[in-house]
Amino acid sequence: MEFAREIYWNIGHDAPVLLPMYLLSLAAMAIAGWGFWLRIRVYRQGKPAVRTADPAGRLALLLKDALGQVKVLRVPGAGTAHALFFWGFALLFIGTLLIMAQADFTDPLFGLRFLKGNFYKAFSLVLDLAGAVSIVMLLGLLVRRFIVRPAGLETKRDDVVMHALLLLILATGFVIEGARMAVTELGTPLASWSPVGLVFAQTFAGLGEEGLKTLHVGTWWLHFALVLGFIGLIPFTKFRHIFTTPANYFLVDDGPKGRLSTLDLEDDTAESFGAAHVSDLSWKDIFDADACTQCKRCQDRCPAHNTDKPLSPMKIVNQIGELAFGSPGNSLIDTCQKEALWACTTCLACQDICPASIEHVSKIVDMRRHLVLMEGEFPGEEVTGAVDALEVNGNPLGMGYASRGDWAAGLPVVILAEDAEVDILYFVGCYASFDKRNQAVARSFVQLCAAAGVKVGILGKEEKCCGEPVRKLGNEYLYQSLAAGNIEQMQNYGVKKIVTTCPHCFNTLSRDYRDLGFAVEVEHYTVFLEGLVESGRLKLQTEPFSATYHDSCTLGRYNDIYGSPRALLEAAGCQLVEMDRHRAESFCCGAGGGRILAEEKLGSRISVKRVQMAAETAAPMLVSNCPFCLTMFEDGVKGAELDGRLIAKDLAELLAARIQP
Amino acid sequence: MKILVCIKQVPDMESKFRINGAGTWYDESDLAWRINEYDEYAVEQGVRLKEQVGEAEMVVLSIGPDRVKEVIKKALAMGGDRGVHVKDDAAFAKDSFEIASIVAEYAQKESFDVIFTGMQSQDRASAQVGVFLAEMLGLPSVTTIVDFSYADGTVTASRELEGGLKAVVKVATPALFTCQLGLNTPRYPTLPNIMKAKKKELLTVEVAELLKVDERLETSRVYFPERKGGGLVLEGDVGEVADRLIAILKEKTTVL
Amino acid sequence: MKTLLVGEYRKGQLRDSCYELLAFAEKLGAESTLFLVGSPTDLPRTGGKLYLADVAKYGEFNPEAHKQLLLDVVAREKPDAVVFSHSSYGWDLAPRVALALKAAQISEVVDVVDGSFVVPSCNSKLRREVKANTAVSVITVQVGAFNPGQPAGTPTVVALDTEAVGALEFVGYETAEKGGVDLTKAEIIVSAGRGIGKKDNVELIARLAEALGGEYAASRPVVDAEWVEHNRQVGSTGQSVSPKLYLACGISGAVQHLAGMKRSEYVVAINTDRDAPIGEVADVLVIADLLQFVPVLTEKIKAL
């Protein structure tokens, strides 16, 4: 027999069918288009943003992330179910398109039929399996949502409608196929190429040809109506993410991760800074709300949310959408709540895991900018004090600036003002300069450089805070002042290469300062030292020890530096026990987002939580690469009462103890 | 209403001080400068009074070299309307009487309704300039205020006394007030205000035009205090030091 | 040298400051006469002449009237120096008198050296030696800088009168929220300064105080930050204490704080800064990070 089927069997394919079919389809698409148009008008309330550079690259990214479901799959379980469902549904959609292509174009115009023979066998089989997989996955997601009920997953009417509609569409699809096969294919070899349909056909077999034909045509039109309903509802329900989420893949920020906009503070005409209303945000910020499917992966990973602070990144994104579409005149900050906004540590866990490529952090910082620059508000008196200290002495610790280089006395380091002929400028940072515990890290780094024959220079009292903590808190003005001072000094000395022991300084100098016209090579010490070890300039002796390693947010998620520290740990003889939350899934120490300057007044302590994760590995040592992390972990060990069972160390200290004599 | 706020730029007290070559004051190199902490409260109170009254002008005045313009600008950014910089590279060498008379010479040309000063400066801490200024201008003065309210030409202020006690005083303007720490919470200047401040009038006057008196006080020398003998210094391993301290306390006191 | 010493009367009582002024005059080797706006029922216990104006008529706080009364006495006695305590009464009244007498004012004297007066500067980190070049000088003396002897005697009283004039209206006193701790009775005090870093760390101080069987207190910045209640503040604007043992943790030793605890019998300071002014009054200075040292000390004391 011929392996093909009569397309539109029992339905008909002339004007009384085609006309309403196409007209109604066009109508449904028009409604969807109009629905999106209404939404585009709301996005436009926001400020301009250009996200179209390198369209080919963006398109490639869209195809990879959307078709490949790469981001969705980062979380197995629900992620796998969604991916399989998506592919199943996509295949069914392609199948429908192929049928339309043959029935309305290639066959009537060219007499070409391709839905036959081996192709048709494959076509039938694939679509049957796709449909079956889709239903199973959808049922799985339904069970998750309505029976398992994971904490924090909100279910709204939208979700019920979507589940019901999709299930019905898939089910009616199989009913149609079953009814048709019961009449046209049962008993033929073709039937086994549609195994799921076959089951339905066998179930319906007893209905008799008249009954089956009625069932078939009725369900076909029902299925058609459901699909049109689905199309029309897209922009009005969470279904819109079918378009908005892939669009967000296209519209990504092509700059460094976690990038903040550099405000033009010379602009005399600017009357307002930061975001107080949705119209102060960009259209992309408002659009992000539409790309969100409330999957809560961001919230699940947020260190603030996980320690009972009122912040949920997902909620902030949704609140922006609610205001934009509802009452845009309302205060954005009052809606999102100051305590939630100040709780953010800008760790980027939310942005990193978001399957819709939403940018949570810059929205929060924009609102902080309004609070600081327009209202002069900070999260607490202790922060106001630290800001004052930064303005007077260039460091938040209130130490006299003139003693910034004193830690280096007697060490193999030169002050650039006395000798500018150096191999690297070591940008020390506030904590390593003034904080006793972190001065040990600075000393270790200098010893390692000396052992490798690298001549190190520091700015000493001419160095000021890089400005990152206050920038993240929203004080763009103070950040730019501090940065300008540092840039001037470094340019004066014609510095060619900078190494830092602080990831915040590293990220700020290598990325943020670019916007201010500074473009010198900057490396974090882990990458720098790894280079020295690899080239043989730095020789370490292995002294075995067991430890777990904390990927700091700024080195890890912001800059993707995961390998170099681990290579160094191996060279040092570390038996590394990884925490569950490591690499991109690392859990913040709590000091990011400028919060190193603030007191943690709400909920439980983030540092204690992270330290407990380290303790769970049973390793006696917690190694980190950031002065903020080290400070927080020293605190956290005491707070978690793990004194004596867990010791906090910086990687530099371990390496310095293993320099080959 | 016309308000005058007198402010001083002082070194950050966390700085490591060195004596200058002449031995008459601290060496200025390597010092971080800031507005005198007491004066910050004075500026804030001046701005609050201005905001309350509405039809008011606040003038900010400071004496010293060019660097003091920074603190005048900060005060303008907090809400002052115009600044007066009395340029004097040797301000550090003048005594309170000279300083007060310089300000009085300027202030008597404008009739100020309310004058705020800090109760003392962090470096010299004489606590004289405010009251001297008031007496020179023939104004009543209230010192060490930790509370201030104004209504219909009368001020009700609380003076901070010792032991947690306060004295409530009433006086009609024009009057002068010297401000104690904690009088209010000084605002952090907003960015638009910082930018506006750059355009506000900042008049520079040479000190010679205003100084018409001689000094009454002479400083013969400035030095670091000697450490009193008998003060034992302990450092080292925390546990060992704690043991030693306990031993000393057992020996020298009856508390353990 | 002749001095006129100005006593203080507050809340119906004579304040002890006049005895410190007498000690100061003695150190100068000067004759002294006393002046007081007070009550004949509460006179300073000392010999010598006392010019007394009735506080019932002139009020405890009336700078202009007090100034006028003082100037009358100055005209009669012609002292070389008019001496006040550097208190909220003294620093308010002294400049008014100084200007009227065209006298130099020397504030907060801590010592006398070869006829020059020593005053602190820059948060007590420096010392300045100053001299007046006017005929008469007005001096204020730091509280607690000169140790009063045992007061004894009865003064010869000369009554004063003048026109009561004043633009300032004294409405009344207000007390800060009291209740709870009376630090003046505590024998052991452990005090927290800015060095504790944050509110959470007050607990370390409180625990040490408890282990020692004493009370915990704080310096002004800690109270201003609302980490500790006001009634635990030690200093010139808080409580003045004289316990057997005073442990200053992370306190730099600003003059105002020292004024409140200088009379402690034994002072131990814990600080990372060996140059902190608290070292001036400390019998023992422990150079350590208090966040590490205090818990260790607490454990060892508990184990005793």
Shortest Cα–Cα distance, C31 to chain B (Å): 23
Give contacts of A604 with chain C, Cβ < 8 Å.
none
Show residues of chain A in contact with C200, CB under 8 Å. 599
Name the token pair of C156: 């010869």
Pick the CATH number of A545-656 from 3.40.50, 3.90.550, 2.40.320, 3.30.70: 3.40.50
CA angle C233, C236, C238 (to 5 degrees): 25
Confidence of residue B158 (pLDDT cuts 50, 70, 90): very high
- Percent of chain A surpassing pLDDT 90: 90
Residue C173 lies in a domain: no
C29 and C104 co-located in one domain: yes
Helix (H, G, I), strand (E, B) or coil at C191: strand
Domains of chain B and any CATH numbers:
2-209 (3.40.50.620)
Average model confidence (pLDDT) for chain A?
95
Q: What is the mean pLDDT of residues A199-223?
A: 93
- Cross-chain residue pair B16–A372, CB shorter than 8 Å: no
Residue range A397-534 forms a domain whose CATH class is alpha beta
**pLDDT tier for residue B168 given thresholds of 50, 70 and 90:** very high
CA distance C41 to C51: 14
Q: Which residues on chain B are in Cβ contact (under 8 Å) with C244?
A: 253-255
- H/E stretch holding B2 reads strand B2-7
**Domain assignment of residue C288, given as a range:** 183-302
**Residue A599 is nearest to which of C199, C272, C289, comparing CB atoms?**
C199
Are C9 and C139 part of one and the same domain?
yes
Does C72 map to a domain? yes
For the domain A278-375, what is the CATH code?
1.10.1060.10
% residues pLDDT > 90 (chain C): 68
Q: Tell me, yes or no, whether C143 and C257 share the same domain.
A: no
A641 interface with C at CB cutoff 8 Å: no
The residue-averaged pLDDT of A514-525 equals: 96
Q: What's the CATH fold of domain A15-250? A: Fumarate Reductase Cytochrome B subunit (1.20.950)
Indicate if the pLDDT at residue A205 is higher than 60.
yes
Mutate which of C122, C194, C200, C252 to test chain A, going by most A C-beta atoms within 10 A?
C200
pLDDT at C125 over 80: yes
Q: Is there a common fold for A278-375 and A545-656?
A: no
**d(C-alpha B36, C-alpha B13), whole Å:** 10
How confident is the model at residue C259, as a pLDDT?
79
Task: Determine contact: A230 vs chain B, CB below 8 A.
Answer: no
Largest CA distance in chain A: 100
Pairing between strand A574-576 and B217-223? Answer: unpaired
Higher pLDDT, A622 or A117: A622
Q: pLDDT at position C37, please?
A: 95
Q: What residues of C are in the A interface, CB distance below 8 Å?
A: 198-200, 225, 272, 289
- Residue C172 in domain: no
Do B32 and A401 count as a contact with CB atoms less than 8 A apart? yes
Q: Give this prediction's pTM.
A: 0.92
Please say whether the beta carbons of C230 and C181 come within 8 A.
Answer: no
Q: In the predicted model, what is the mean pLDDT of residues A381-397?
A: 93
Q: What is the pLDDT of residues A271-313, one digit of tens each?
A: 899 999 999 999 999 999 999 999 999 999 999 999 999 999 9
Of the listed ranges A107-111, A338-342, A374-378, the least confidently predicted one is: A107-111
What percent of chain A stands above pLDDT 70?
A: 100
Rounded to an integer, the average pLDDT of C179-192 is 86
Distance CA(C165)–CA(B25), nearest Å, equals 41
CA distance B107 to C148: 43
Looking at the fold, whether C102 and C153 belong to one and the same domain comes out as yes
- CA gap A265, A287 in Å, rounded: 27
Residue of B nearest to C135 (CA): B216
> pLDDT per residue over A246-256, tens digit each?
999 999 999 99
Query: Which of B188, B194, B199 would best serve as a mutation to test chain A binding (most A beta carbons within 10 A)?
Result: B188
What ipTM, to 2 d.p.? 0.91
Query: Positive or negative, the Cα torsion across B26, B27, B29, B30?
Result: negative
Looking at residue B187, the DSSP 8-state letter turns out to be P
Partners of C301 on chain B (C-beta within 8 Å) are 246, 256
C216 & C274 share domain:
yes
Cα dist. B115→A602, B110, B148, B174, B240 in Å?
42, 12, 13, 8, 56
Kindly tell me if the per-residue pLDDT of B13 is higher than 80.
yes
- From the list A112, C289, C236, the residue with the least C-alpha distance to B165 is C236
Dump pLDDT digits (tens) for A604-613: 999 999 999 9
At residue B255 the predicted structure's pLDDT band, cuts being 50, 70 and 90, is confident
Same domain, C147 and C199: no
A340 has pLDDT over 90: yes
The CATH number given to whatever domain includes residue C292 is 3.40.50.1220
CA nearest to C289 within chain A: A436
The alpha carbon of residue A271 is apart from the nearest alpha carbon of chain B, in Å, by 7
Cβ pair B192:A384 closer than 8 A: no
C149 and C43 in a common domain: yes
Sorted by where each begins, the domain ranges of chain A are 15-250, 278-375, 397-534, 545-656
A395, A401, A437, A464: best mutation site toward chain B, by most B Cβ within 10 Å? A401
Interchain proximity B164–C178, CB inside 8 Å: yes
- Closest alpha carbon to A480 in A253, A267, A256: A267
Evaluate whether C68 touches C165 at the Cβ level (below 8 Å): yes
> Is C164's pLDDT higher than 80?
no
Chain B positions in Cβ-Cβ contact with residue A460 (cut-off 8 Å): none
Q: Considering only CB atoms, which chain A residues are within 8 Å of B188?
A: 372, 376-378, 384, 387
Q: Residue C13 sits in a domain of what CATH number?
A: 3.40.50.620
Query: Which of these, A256, A285, A469, A247, lies nearest to A363 by C-alpha position?
Result: A285
Strand pairing partners for B156? B149, B170
Q: What is the pLDDT of residues A448-480, one digit of tens each?
A: 999 999 999 999 999 999 999 999 999 999 999
Order the strands of the A497-500 sheet from edge to edge. Answer: A414-415, A456-458, A424-427, A497-500, A521-524
Residues of chain B with Cβ-Cβ distance to A387 below 8 Å are: 188
Whole-angstrom Cα distance, residue C86 to residue B229? 26
Statement to judge: residues C155 and C213 lie in one domain = no
Mean pLDDT of B55-78: 98
Q: Do A387 and B188 touch (CB under 8 A)?
A: yes
> What mean pLDDT is predicted for residues A541-545?
93
With cut-offs at 50, 70 and 90, classify the pLDDT of residue A638.
confident
CB contact under 8 A, A376 and B12: no
Tell me the pLDDT tens digit for each residue of C8-61: 999 999 998 999 999 999 999 999 999 999 999 999 999 899 999 999 999 999
| Residue C141 shares a structural domain with residue C191 | no
Chain B residue whose CA is closest to A374: B190
pLDDT at B228 over 70: no
Helix or strand holding residue C108 (H, E): strand C104-109
CB contact under 8 A, B220 and C116: yes
Which of B120, B168, B235 shows the shortest C-beta gap to C288?
B235
Rounded to 10 deg, the angle between the B129-137 and B96-107 helix axes is: 40
Which two three-digit tokens encode residue A417? 């003002």
Question: Per mean pLDDT, which range of A315-329, A341-355, C135-149 is the poorest?
Answer: C135-149
Alpha helices in A102-151 (DSSP H): 107-110, 117-143
The CA-atom distances, in angstroms, between C212 and each of A159, C234, C304 are: 63, 19, 10
What was the pLDDT predicted at B230? 58
Contacts of A393 in chain B (CB under 8 A): 12, 14, 32
Q: Residue C220's pLDDT is what?
A: 87
pLDDT number for residue C93: 97
Structural domain contains residue C256: yes
> In the predicted model, what is the mean pLDDT of residues A201-228?
93
Question: How remote is the C-alpha of A510 from its chain's centroid?
Answer: 21
pLDDT exceeds 90 at position A4: no
In this predicted structure, what is the pLDDT of residue A43? 97
Q: Is residue C176 part of a domain?
A: no
Q: With beta carbons less than 8 A apart as the criterion, state whether A418 and A405 touch.
A: no
Q: Which chains touch C (3 or more CB pairs under 8 A)?
A: A, B
Binning pLDDT at 50, 70 and 90, where does residue A408 land? very high
Distance from CA of C213 to the nearest CA of B (A): 9
C149 with C205, same domain: the answer is no
Contact B123 C121 (CB under 8 A): yes
Q: Kindly determine whether residue A382 and residue C225, on different chains, have CB atoms separated by under 8 Å.
A: yes
Q: Please identify among residues 100-119 of chain C the ones whose CB lies closer than 8 Å to any CB of chain B.
A: 100, 102-108, 116
Residues C30 and C147 in one domain: yes
**Pairwise pLDDT comparison (A14 vs C67), residue with the higher score:** C67
Q: How confident is the model at residue B227 (pLDDT cuts 50, 70, 90)?
A: low
Q: Are strands C156-159 and C49-54 parallel, antiparallel or unpaired?
A: parallel
Would C118 be classed as within a structural domain? yes
Contact list in A for residue C272 (CB cut-off 8 A) is 436
Dihedral pair phi/psi, residue A338, rounded to 5°: -60, -40
Distances (CA, A) of A187 to A120, A127, A176, A205: 18, 20, 18, 11
| Residues of chain B positioned with their CB less than 8 A from the CB of A388 | 34
- A399 close to B (CB below 8 A): yes
Total tally of structural domains belonging to chain C: 2
pLDDT, residue A1, reads: 62
C136 and C18, same structural domain?
Answer: yes
Facing residue for B231 by CB, picked from C61, C176, C285? C285
Chain A: residue nearest C273 by CA? A399
Give the distance from CA C41 to its chain's centroid: 24
Pairing of strands B141-151, B114-118: unpaired
pLDDT at B229 over 60: no
What whole-number distance in Å separates Cα of residue A406 and Cα of residue A10? 90
Helices (H), A144-194: 157-184
Report the chain B residue with the minimal C-alpha distance to residue A389. Answer: B12
pLDDT of A237 higher than 90: yes
* 8 Å CB contact between A369 and A474: yes
User: Six-digit token pair at B65?
Assistant: 């070299």
Looking at residue A294, its amino acid is Q
pLDDT value for C194: 87
Least CB–CB distance from C128: residue in B141, B222, B233: B222
Nearest CA to A274 out of A221, A217, A336, A343 is that of: A336
Q: In chain A, which residues have their Cβ closer than 8 Å to the Cβ of B34?
A: 388, 391-392
Q: Is residue A228 within 8 Å of residue A28, measured between CB atoms?
A: yes
| Mean per-residue pLDDT, C100-117 | 95
pLDDT digits (tens, 9 = 90+) for C255-302: 778 878 888 889 999 998 888 888 888 999 999 999 999 999 999 999
